Chains A and B, each alone.
Chain A
Amino acid sequence: MEETLEVVEEEAPAKPERPEDVKILAFLCNWCSYAGADLAGVSRLQMPPNVVDIRVMCTGTISPHYVLKAFQEGIDGVLIAGCHIGDCHYGKGNYMTAKRFRVIKDLLAGMGIDERRIRLEWVSAAEGQKFQDVITSFTEQVRAAGKSRLKGV
């Protein structure tokens, strides 16, 4: 008697279709925005988990090259957050940020890279609520711009 073998192909359980979410890099100044992010955290304010932060001593230390490197490595949006003008721990560090930001933003726009991917905000240590608003709205903004296609081109 011949045995019949039935091959049953097991179907893999269908994975939920979920588009890859955007990745955002945030440069936070040690004295204001990092403390502001901390305040938002201890206040249990909910915000999107797309943001990876890098703490810098002053936003004035952020070279435009860092922003370019972030985009080259596949980051979809770059946020720079520091002390309000006049409140800089080092006096005038954020003047430099403001001017450099203007240059890098316009340069990227001229290259055809979406302006919505980069943003500068002043968030003080007392503005936990503002930090939440900035992260939420910036994430929405970068989602609207979509995934960056710069990596591996």
Chain B
Amino acid sequence: MKEDLQKAIKEALSSGKASAAVILLEKDEELMPKIVTSADDPAIDSLYAGDKRYPMASFVVMLQPVIEGNIAIPVRECDRRMLFELEKHNQIDPDRLVLLGTPCTQEVADACGCDHPFTENGISVAPTLASPAEPLPLPEALQSEDPDEKLAFWMGEFERCIKCYGCRNVCPMCFCNDCALDNLDLVNAASKPPEIPIFHLIRAVDMADRCVDCGMCEAICPAEIPLRHLYRQARQVVKDAFGYEPGVSEEKSPIEMLGEPSELAGMEEGFRTS
């Protein structure tokens, strides 16, 4: 796997298909990214190709404006979905990317509950290593129909939040220059721990038509808040209402477009809640 990735990166750089490549290096068990521009760069020999994940799609948003030519980037299937969604939001230029599809191992797939641990897009650097995993089970409180129990569950989880903004900072889909979480009229900057549930729900609303369910937010959360279930719930709302799935559906998000009258058909009874 490591040799395959090294070979693919060297080939992309030496053949001129890409003018730069993003690789990950591991130091003190932490990952850090590095940009290499030459196939002879010694850093390629020590690149990291293990199970730890890193939001690769964020680099594309950052690097494309400053690097001329194509960028080669190793992607997992979730990274590929992010790039697709970023393309729909006009954040990246897909023609200037060389995707190096890296398959996930079975351990990663099982830990993520991923039903698609390999990517068919781009250059595949290694054959499929994992079979689709079972989806992760819902917490018991969320299976109940009782609204009080659900609210109590979420408030209990949100209570642990230390307001580190890690979920936003790691998320490749959080590309807005002006973040609602930095808006002093919405979020009291001085309040630590944050005001709940607004702090988490603001992000949940924004993720409803963007989240590609990579689970990086939950993995990074120091308070272990089950954010993935929160954003999944939000995704499900959009899927039920509009049949739109971020990262999968070809069209642009319906709640970012004004739309056509036909889109509102059958929604009239949804307006009223009496």
Q: Which A residues lie at the B interface, using CB under 8 A?
A: 60, 63-65, 68-69, 71-72, 85-86, 91-93, 95-96, 98-107, 109-116, 118-121, 137-138, 141, 150, 153
**Given the known A-B contacts A65-B202, A111-B201, A118-B273, are A102 and B147 also in contact in the complex, defined by CB atoms under 8 Å?**
no
A121 in contact with B271 given A69-B186, A92-B258 (CB within 8 Å): yes
6 CB contacts below 8 A, A to B, read: A65-B205, A95-B263, A95-B264, A119-B272, A121-B272, A150-B197
Question: CB distance A100 to B255 under 8 Å?
Answer: yes
Query: Once the chains bind, are A112 and B154 in contact (CB under 8 Å)?
Result: yes
On whether the beta carbons of B238 and A103 are closer than 8 Å, the reply is yes
User: B38 to chain A: closest CB distance in Å?
Assistant: 46
Interface residues on chain B, size class: 35 or more
Question: A26 → chain B, closest Cβ, in Å?
Answer: 15
Complex interface residues of chain B between 190 and 242 (CB less than 8 A to chain A): 195-198, 201-202, 204-205, 208-209, 233-234, 236-238, 240-242
Residue pair B273, A111 in contact (C-beta under 8 Å): no
Say yes or no for B111: interface residue by CB 8 A criterion: no
Per-position binary interface string of chain B over residues 232-274, scored 1 when its CB falls under 8 Å from any chain A CB and 0 otherwise: 0110111011100000000000110011010110010011111
Cβ-closest chain A residue relative to B254: A99
A118 / chain B contacts, CB cutoff of 8 Å? 273
Q: Is there an interface contact between B271 and A98, defined as CB atoms closer than 8 Å? A: yes
Q: Who on chain A is nearest to B234 by CB?
A: A107
Which residues on the A side are within 8 Å of B274 (C-beta)? 116, 119, 137-138, 141
Residues of A within 8 A of B116 (CB): none
> In the complex, which residues of chain A have a beta carbon less than 8 angstroms from the beta carbon of B264?
85, 95, 98-99
B238, B258, B259, B264: which has the most chain A beta carbons within 10 Å? B258
Contact of B147 among A91, A96, A114, A150 (CB under 8 A): A114
Assess whether A113 is in contact with B147, with CB atoms less than 8 Å apart: yes
Known: A103-B237, A107-B205, A107-B208. A112 touches B150 (CB 8 A): yes
Query: Which of B117-160 touch A at CB < 8 Å?
Result: 146-155
